[in-house]
């Protein structure tokens, strides 16, 4: 499988319009329209879906407020499911967007329409994909990595009213991360996903189940030592292990630069 890399330094501007502004330009420079050739009416579910589709990585509080305003257009259970599906699928397709998607879900979590709550709809999507994760990993590895990212970010960002993480997600998150770590056939991209997500939610995971985290980090050490790991894979796991040993505090700029430079050197060597 082709390597996707870490994606650091990727552009992070927002493409989404302000609420009530002119329609977003489409790829050809023309304004986006609905199937009838007209712009979606202000305050419609279609406007909300278009707004969500236009978001990139720099999610702001203003964006979240806009989304909450537009969410008032959801008046049926189907509206709720369609909007949740749009956020979920966008997050699956772009691992880097998964945290933004989870933050949006957290903001919309308590919206209820016709007896259906947004939180439950999103969690049902996660549950359904978790059941078929093994098949997805074999048939569509990009979607599988997207799912692992979404699962971890939903765990880390979709909070209860008390501010706590959802305990039912702890075991599924650990299961997915250990699946990647302990499979001899795991790819460099899977290790990359493992490292990024565990650095993001490791502290919360450890608070929920410290013995399992200790076991997982021991497995990381064992995998680094064992034969069969590529230079890039070993470098990725070393960075992860260092972050874990620091109590999941972000690495310093110098350490981050060190690991980035090493991975660049490994890429350069591999293509010579």
Comparing C-alpha atoms, which of 101, 98, 10, 113 is closest to residue 52?
A: 101
Alpha-helical segments (H) within the chain? 45-54, 61-70, 77-93, 98-108, 118-131, 133-139, 141-157, 170-182, 188-208, 210-225, 231-245, 253-271
Does the structure show a pLDDT above 80 at 14?
no
R_g over Cα of the chain: 20
- Predicted confidence at residue 145, as pLDDT, reads 98
- Predicted confidence at residue 72, as pLDDT, reads 94
Q: How confident is the prediction for the chain on average, in pLDDT?
A: 84
Domain that holds residue 176: 165-272
The pLDDT tens digits of the residues spanning 68-114 come to 999 999 999 999 999 999 999 999 999 999 999 999 999 999 999 99
Alpha-carbon distance 155 to 163, whole Å?
Answer: 12
16 in a domain, yes or no?
no
pLDDT band at 22; cut points 50, 70, 90: very low
- Predicted confidence at residue 81, as pLDDT, reads 96
139 in a domain, yes or no?
no
- Predicted confidence at residue 35, as pLDDT, reads 39
The pLDDT tens digits of the residues spanning 46-62 come to 999 999 999 989 999 99
175 in a domain, yes or no?
yes
234 in a domain, yes or no?
yes
Does the structure show a pLDDT above 80 at 29?
no
High-pLDDT (> 70) share of the chain, % = 77
122 in a domain, yes or no?
no
- Quick count: other Cβ atoms within 10 Å of Cβ 116? 18
The pLDDT tens digits of the residues spanning 149-186 come to 999 999 999 999 899 999 999 999 999 999 999 999 99
Does the structure show a pLDDT above 80 at 7?
no
237 in a domain, yes or no?
yes
Comparing C-alpha atoms, which of 132, 120, 116, 119 is closest to residue 172?
A: 132
- Predicted confidence at residue 4, as pLDDT, reads 42
The total number of structural domains that make up the chain = 1
Alpha-carbon distance 118 to 99, whole Å?
Answer: 17
Q: When comparing pLDDT for 87 and 39, which is higher?
A: 87
Does the structure show a pLDDT above 70 at 26?
no
Does the structure show a pLDDT above 70 at 267?
no
Q: What is the CATH number of the domain that holds 212?
A: 1.25.40.180
Does the structure show a pLDDT above 70 at 33?
no
The pLDDT tens digits of the residues spanning 202-233 come to 999 999 999 999 999 999 999 998 878 888 89
204 in a domain, yes or no?
yes
Strand partners, 113: 116
Cα–Cα distances in angstroms (integers) from residue 271 to residues 54, 85, 125, 259, 265, in the given order:
36, 39, 40, 19, 10
As a whole number, mean pLDDT of residues 180-209 equals: 95
pTM of the shown model:
0.80
- Predicted confidence at residue 250, as pLDDT, reads 80
54 in a domain, yes or no?
no
- Predicted confidence at residue 265, as pLDDT, reads 72
Does the structure show a pLDDT above 50 at 270?
yes
- Predicted confidence at residue 176, as pLDDT, reads 97
pLDDT band at 13; cut points 50, 70, 90: very low
Comparing C-alpha atoms, which of 90, 100, 92 is closest to residue 146?
A: 92
Strand partners, 112: 117
Alpha-carbon distance 190 to 3, whole Å?
Answer: 10
């Amino acid at each position: 499988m082709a390597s996707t890399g870490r994606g650091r330094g990727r552009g992070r501007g927002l493409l989404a319009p302000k609420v009530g502004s002119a329609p977003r330009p489409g790829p050809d420079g023309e304004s986006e329209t609905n199937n009838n050739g007209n712009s979606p009416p202000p305050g419609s579910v279609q406007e909300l879906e278009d707004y969500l589709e236009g978001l990139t990585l720099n999610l702001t509080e203003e964006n979240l407020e806009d989304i909450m305003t537009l969410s008032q257009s959801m008046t049926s259970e189907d509206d709720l499911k369609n909007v949740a599906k749009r956020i979920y699928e966008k997050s699956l397709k772009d691992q880097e967007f998964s945290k933004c998607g989870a933050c949006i879900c957290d903001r919309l979590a308590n919206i209820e329409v016709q007896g259906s709550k947004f939180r439950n709809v999103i969690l049902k999507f996660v549950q359904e994909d978790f059941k078929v994760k093994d098949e997805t990993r074999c048939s569509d590895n990009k979607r599988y990595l997207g799912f692992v990212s979404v699962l971890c970010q939903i765990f880390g960002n979709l909070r209860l009213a008390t501010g706590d993480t959802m305990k039912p997600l702890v075991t599924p998150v650990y299961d997915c991360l250990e699946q990647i770590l302990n499979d001899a056939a795991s790819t460099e991209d899977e290790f990359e996903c493992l490292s990024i997500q565990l650095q993001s939610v490791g502290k919360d995971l450890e608070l929920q189940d410290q013995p399992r985290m200790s076991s997982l980090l021991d497995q990381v050490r064992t995998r680094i030592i064992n034969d069969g790991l590529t230079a890039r894979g070993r470098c990725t796991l070393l960075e992860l292990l260092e972050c874990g040993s620091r109590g999941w505090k972000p690495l310093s700029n110098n350490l981050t630069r060190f690991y980035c430079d090493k991975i660049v050197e490994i890429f350069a060597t591999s293509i010579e």
